[in-house]
């Protein structure tokens, strides 16, 4: 998928750098051999590139080229005679122009959080859950938010990342409200469809398991 961004870091000695794009949460790594412009990349340079993901190490840019070069090529193509004039393509709004969570999903999340908190309180009241579990749930959600924050910072600096399985495990254990707030507030893991699908599966599994235990459907 082709994206547009800006070179924010370039290490001439080691011949690699990073691109920042409004369409990607983390800065995107690229090597000089992936750069197709004349000369070396420079910080602040606007570029277009193809983004790929390999081995869970974060996004990588391929076929990086200066944005101006592509624009000139398009202008040349439009000026060339042809059977019919092509209509200019309308720029699609970037994901940062669109809300991270629709009102429907936000409402569902808050509804589930209220029901989840109610189940915890009811379970502690009727003895189905130990009272200390209420404090444990708060601590788990604070921990989950912190893990998301650390992973967000690691993504920006190309450091060791927290595995998605760990993030999903925390959500499944009951840290999914903290994960939801982290996704919205930190803008991390909030636009990756595959991750979001598994995340919502952990939410449903945790809420269903808690309801079954607290209400006493399983004896």
pLDDT at 72: 56
Q: What span, in angstroms and rounded, lies between the C-alpha atoms of 3 and 84?
A: 28
| Tokens representing residue 129 in the block | 């859950």
pTM, two decimals, is 0.53
| Tokens representing residue 96 in the block | 């940062």
pLDDT at 25: 79
Residues 6+ away with beta carbon under 8 Å from 66: 37, 45, 46, 47, 48
Question: How many Å is the maximal CA-CA distance in the chain?
Answer: 80
pLDDT at 174: 93
- 34-67: b (≥16 Cβ within 10 Å) or e: bbeeeeebeeebebbbebeeeeeebbbbeebbbb
Q: What span, in angstroms and rounded, lies between the C-alpha atoms of 152 and 9?
A: 18
List of the chain residues with pLDDT < 70: 1, 55-56, 69-105, 217-219
Nearest to 211 by CA among 138, 124, 116, 147: 116
CATH 2.40.50.140 residue ranges of the chain are 2-95
pLDDT at 90: 56
CATH topology of domain 2-95: OB fold (Dihydrolipoamide Acetyltransferase, E2P) (2.40.50)
SS3 12: coil
């Amino acid at each position: 998928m082709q994206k547009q961004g800006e070179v924010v870091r370039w290490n001439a000695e080691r011949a690699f750098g990073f691109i920042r794009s409004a369409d990607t949460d983390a800065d995107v790594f690229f090597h000089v051999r992936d750069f197709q412009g004349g000369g070396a990349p420079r910080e602040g340079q606007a570029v277009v590139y193809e983004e790929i993901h390999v081995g869970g190490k974060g996004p990588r840019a391929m076929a990086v080229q200066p944005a101006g070069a592509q624009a000139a090529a398009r202008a040349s193509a439009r000026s060339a005679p042809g059977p019919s004039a092509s209509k200019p393509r309308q720029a699609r709004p970037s994901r940062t122009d669109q809300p991270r969570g629709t009102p429907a999903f936000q409402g569902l999340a808050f509804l589930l959080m209220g029901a989840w908190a109610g189940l915890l309180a009811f379970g502690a009241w009727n003895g189905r859950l130990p009272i200390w579990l209420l404090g444990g749930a708060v601590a788990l959600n604070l921990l989950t938010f912190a893990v998301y924050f650390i992973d967000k910072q690691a993504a920006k600096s190309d450091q060791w990342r927290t595995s998605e399985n760990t993030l999903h495990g925390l959500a499944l254990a009951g840290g999914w409200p903290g994960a939801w707030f982290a996704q919205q507030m930190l803008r991390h893991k909030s636009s990756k469809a595959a991750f979001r699908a598994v995340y919502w599966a952990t939410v449903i599994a945790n809420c269903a398991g808690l309801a079954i235990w607290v209400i006493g459907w399983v004896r």
